Chain A
Amino acid sequence: MITFSEQQLKVPKLARPVYLVTAGQSKFDRAFPGKRTEELCVDALTQAAELINKTPAELKKYIHTCYYGHFADHFGDQLLGEAVIHDRLGLDPLGTIGVKTGGATGGSTLWEAIKAVASGYSDCTLAMGWERMDEVPTDEGNFLISCAADKDWESPLGHIYTGYYAVMAQKYWKVFGKEEESFRKTLAEIAVKHRGYARFNPYAHGPMKITVEDVLNSPIVAYPLLALDCCLMSVGAACGIVCDEKTAIELTKNTKNKPLRIWVSAGSHTLRPADRRDMDIPLLPNETADQYKDLGERFPGGDRYPGFTGFLAARMAAWYGYRMCGITDPMEDLDVIELHDAFTISDVQTYEDIGLRPYGEGRDFVESGDCYHTNPKTGQPGRLPSNISGGLIGCMHAVGATGIMQVFEIATHLWNRWGEIHGDDKRWKEFDREKPADWTDLQVKDAKRAMAISHAGVGSHVTATILMDPDNLLKEDA
């Protein structure tokens, strides 16, 4: 649709407060020839239990319903893979359901898990996501991913999803990037930042100490996208435990985890970008219609919204999410974020969709230094550090797990446990990864509010998961 009814613009409301009490994840890697998927899921659930000083068996006693995110059945050649994991986790005969929304599967799984608690159906739910992308040859993997595009209108065109996606990157590059070398360099900075942060994350599978020049010299995938602009393809699992207030207090008693308020909102847009129609920009609380009046003059070709340059699904997830919990300016109200950096350029597009910068000015979020843990220009803490985990480019993209990994990461900042969890020598050894001599604690100081954006492919589904320290809410009745 290109216009909205009043009913469709209802601000979502959870019927009671919902809390994230703990989360966990497995090691992420390109392949696990020695591990079955269920072993990775057990690793994730075990960590979630350990973070609140419980055994998995003790934690499991609280779980009432289970939500499993696993995008690609055909990769694993196993329909109802969710039921296999549910059984192996020993959670039968509890109610369970599988969730599939492409790259946004992790976020959507949390969306389901929180609604079950908010409605009162359950007091404690498990959201678990994973992906297994290492069990087919790469060209067949590309084929299978292309099956997420329209099978009659897109997939036969080369069976290569990157191609369907990259036309949008090209348009953004030409219209808003103006093909400027300086913009190309900004994109490279994002790749350097995310791979660099991944060096301090033992779970991450793509850490690299590289320079902007290394990125610019990496092979062309589809210009302007270079090899080092692109995200990883990973295997791994991540989970979160979501509760009502009473259960949250009980589960976190005498532990280092403070229950965190959690909200999830969602948006969608045409699976085929071809079907996008022009519309007015839905405005976020920190925007006015006036500021976009001359967008097409400042950026010739930029007057079609969302065209091929914006992600309407991300805009709508933010539209609903911000109003739901009282965010009026994400730059002011949030302390740390994880975004879906499938490509460096889509990271920039997302800055605009979620209102960190106005449309057309996303690059400034990087160029100002705001996106860094420590602003390289000022040496001061970044205004809104993003993708400290390394994101999809440096940490992982194990599709069904990705959105939950992001939430695990932002939660560790709000729990003030980032350093403890990522710096643990035992963990580095267990994962057979070498802890760098210059390992740095990237804990974002005094982080109270955070957000993660989970995003599917060309923008068909996007969720926004917002976490807040319950003593630092923005709206009392949220």
Chain B
Amino acid sequence: MSMFGQVYTKNNQYKIKGDFHHLTPNQPIRNADDGWKLMGVTNPRDMTYIHSYGGEAIFFESLGQGKLMATRCDNPDCEGHGTVYQPFRIHCMDCLRKCTVFDMTDLAKKSAKIHTFMVCERSGAFNILNTPIKFINVEFEGVDTILMSYLSIGNPEIGMRVVPIFQTLNPTSTILDLSWVPDGTAEKELPEGFSF
């Protein structure tokens, strides 16, 4: 019986535990139109990438705690002084100084609006969202950039007011822990594991 492979850090090193590889043998590829002659070979393989969130870790951790964090350049000497970034940027795009992290959950609840959207029937391998996926790009008052995310309930329209929801029960620790629903949606309608 295998367990999901897990990784943690200790002494500034990655520690790896469990079963990552599920071996599938190579198989020949043969030509059905020409006497089943050999054309090539399959190379199936599972890979596990280990990845640091670095300075963005607080953003992803906060989602699971029901908070949307953003950043702002507070460098008075920067031409972009006061720029508010969502997506969260560790460093200001202009001066490259570390931005100030702040909680914009209330701002998002009060002012989030759909800038544009797309309903997408297809998905790639390893997708775990339900299809069709309702991609939305969300704009906020006083924020200079436009966040990409997905709408969990209802049908998107440009200009529609939406509010953030967070996967606070068993969070995935990914951007999927943040989603959106139309303003006025009742708590009991939210997808399993999500709350306002």
Residues of A within 8 A of B (CB): 1-3, 33-34, 77, 137, 139-146, 151-154, 156-164, 166-171, 174, 220-223, 272-278, 301, 308
The distance in angstroms between the C-alpha atoms of A308 and B116, with both chains bound, is 8
Contacting B127 at CB < 8 Å: which of A154, A158, A166, A301?
Answer: A158
User: Other than the known A157-B135, A158-B123, A171-B158, what 13 A-B pairs have Cβ atoms closer than 8 Å?
Assistant: A2-B80, A3-B79, A139-B124, A143-B124, A143-B127, A157-B133, A163-B135, A170-B116, A171-B116, A222-B120, A273-B137, A274-B87, A308-B115
Known: A152-B56, A157-B135, A171-B115. A276 touches B145 (CB 8 A): yes
Known: A160-B122, A274-B145. A167 touches B117 (CB 8 A): yes
B72 within 8 A of A: no
> Is the CB–CB distance between A153 and B133 below 8 Å?
no
Q: How far is the CB of B95 from chain A (nearest CB, A)?
A: 11
Chain B residues closer than 8 Å to A161, beta-carbon distance: 124
Chain B residues closer than 8 Å to A157, beta-carbon distance: 129, 133, 135, 148-150, 175-176
Known: A145-B124, A160-B127. A274 touches B53 (CB 8 A): no
**Scoring B residues 72 to 105 as 1 if CB is less than 8 Å from chain A, else 0, what string do you get?**
0000000110010111010001100000000000
Known: A33-B39, A164-B148, A167-B137. A1 touches B94 (CB 8 A): yes
Contacting B135 at CB < 8 Å: which of A1, A164, A220, A277?
Answer: A164
Known: A152-B53, A167-B137. A159 touches B175 (CB 8 A): no
Contacting B146 at CB < 8 Å: which of A158, A164, A166, A273?
Answer: A273
> Is the CB–CB distance between B122 and A77 below 8 Å?
no
The distance in angstroms between the C-alpha atoms of A159 and B127, with both chains bound, is 6
Q: Name the interface residues of B2-59: CB closer than 8 Å to any CB of A.
A: 29, 31, 39-40, 43, 51, 53, 56
> Is the CB–CB distance between A274 and B116 below 8 Å?
no
Chain B residues closer than 8 Å to A153, beta-carbon distance: 87, 148, 175
The distance in angstroms between the C-alpha atoms of A139 and B122, with both chains bound, is 9
Known: A157-B150, A308-B146. A139 touches B135 (CB 8 A): no
The distance in angstroms between the C-alpha atoms of A62 and B117, with both chains bound, is 52
> Is the CB–CB distance between A170 and B125 below 8 Å?
no
Q: Select from chain B the residue with minimum beta-carbon distance to A147.
A: B124
Contacting A163 at CB < 8 Å: which of B29, B80, B115, B120?
Answer: B120
The distance in angstroms between the C-alpha atoms of A157 and B128, with both chains bound, is 8
Q: Select from chain B the residue with minimum beta-carbon distance to A225.
A: B118
Contacting B125 at CB < 8 Å: which of A139, A151, A301?
Answer: A139
Chain B residues closer than 8 Å to A146, beta-carbon distance: 124
Q: How far is the CB of B115 from chain A (nearest CB, A)?
A: 7
> Is the CB–CB distance between A167 and B53 below 8 Å?
no
> Is the CB–CB distance between A158 and B137 below 8 Å?
no
Q: How far is the CB of B57 from chain A (nearest CB, A)?
A: 10
Chain A residues closer than 8 Å to B40, beta-carbon distance: 33
The distance in angstroms between the C-alpha atoms of A459 and B195, with both chains bound, is 35
Q: Name the interface residues of B125-165: CB closer than 8 Å to any CB of A.
A: 125-127, 129, 131, 133, 135-137, 144-150, 158
B119 within 8 A of A: yes
The distance in angstroms between the C-alpha atoms of A152 and B192, with both chains bound, is 23
> Is the CB–CB distance between A276 and B125 below 8 Å?
no
Provide 24 A-B residue pairs closer than 8 Å at the C-beta atoms, listed in order of the A residue.
Answer: A2-B80, A3-B79, A33-B29, A33-B31, A140-B125, A152-B51, A153-B148, A153-B175, A158-B131, A158-B133, A159-B124, A159-B127, A160-B122, A160-B124, A163-B133, A167-B118, A167-B136, A170-B116, A174-B158, A274-B145, A275-B89, A276-B145, A277-B93, A308-B146
Q: How far is the CB of A295 from chain B (nearest CB, A)?
A: 17
> Is the CB–CB distance between B124 and A275 below 8 Å?
no
> Is the CB–CB distance between A301 and B158 below 8 Å?
yes
Known: A33-B29, A163-B118, A170-B116. A274 touches B43 (CB 8 A): no
The distance in angstroms between the C-alpha atoms of A171 and B159, with both chains bound, is 11
Contacting A142 at CB < 8 Å: which of B117, B123, B148, B149?
Answer: B123
> Is the CB–CB distance between B148 and A167 below 8 Å?
yes
Chain B residues closer than 8 Å to A156, beta-carbon distance: 174-176
